[in-house]
Structure 1
């Protein structure tokens, strides 16, 4: 491993711009809105069934009534913000969730039949907090690079 001073690293670094993705802070705010909608939801929720066994096209098209997906789409503030539908693909795109994150948050194998709006809302708020922390880190790092340039 070659020792380099920060100026050498910056001069040789390849920066890759993020294109066509909302800022991470937007994802955090959206997750907070979804969490609030889930907290207002009365009654149990149905977890998504066996997501890990679905092909990608099936996964993105997946939808069911009385799920966190349906709660999100029923919320007017999320629809006004641009949520296009209640399929898992729409949810993943809007909230910036990977397939793995969607599985961890929504699949029945993590709930043992006991999914509640409050429990999922807590998970979404943690993810929103981390999203903000990551955005702050990236912003600070970019500022550091800009000062060094």
Structure 2
């Protein structure tokens, strides 16, 4: 076996660095750290995620959002982040809808948010995991919607 430097290998093969798989917490921590690098940066918020159908919400993108910051990171992409859609962020960061909603939706912040604010929301997503309130909130989010009738609509 002949020893070659990485530079020599680049001339004859495509060399990609490999990283050990990050845990959910490490992925969220990295995202928060990326947001904290420029805490005053204005980011776009997603409009009305709670009102979107599941299919539309899954494909939703927002230019200049906290998800765009994550997707611009080569390490998170190497870990498997495929794009900056709502559905991909939910999958990759292993977030419940209500958790991702709290991070990216405009109803909490208006049209824009500071990156530092978004970082706090990302950090709260991994602090809440396993807590009773978090588990109850997740269970309630999946209950079927109740239909309420008034006398006029019956």
Give the TM-score normalised by the residue count of structure 1.
0.67
* Structure 1 residue 114, shift from structure 2 partner: 4.7
* Structure 1 residue 102, shift from structure 2 partner: 1.4
- Tell which structure's C-alpha radius of gyration is larger: 2
Runs of 4+ in 1 over 6 A off after TM superposition: none
Greater relative contact order (Cα < 8 A, sep 6+): 1
Match of 2:31 among 31, 34, 37: 34
Structure 2: give runs of 5+ residues left out of the alignment: 1-21, 132-154
Deviations 1:43-90 (A, max 9, x none): 200011111110000000000210011111001111111111111111
Question: 1:130–1:99: structure 2 CA closer, same or farther, 3 Å change rule?
Answer: closer
Match of 2:52 among 32, 51, 54: 54
Structure 1: give runs of 5+ residues left out of the alignment: 1-24, 136-149
Matched with 2:97 is 99
Please give the alpha-carbon distance, in whole angstroms, between the structure 2 residues aligned to 1:66 and 1:105. 14
Choose between structure 1 and 2: higher helix proportion. 1
Deviations 1:92-144 (A, max 9, x none): 0000111121112210001134511111111212222344xx39xxxxxxxxx
Give the TM-score normalised by the residue count of structure 2.
0.65
Deviations 1:33-52 (A, max 9, x none): 10011112462000111111
Please give the alpha-carbon distance, in whole angstroms, between the structure 2 residues aligned to 1:111 and 1:60. 21
Q: Secondary structure at the match of 2:119?
A: helix
Match of 1:89 among 87, 90, 108: 87
Give me the CA root mean square deviation: 1.9
User: How many residues of Structure 1 are paired with residues of Structure 2 in the alignment?
Assistant: 109
Please give the alpha-carbon distance, in whole angstroms, between the structure 1 residues aligned to 2:111 and 2:55. 25
Match of 1:63 among 61, 64, 69: 61
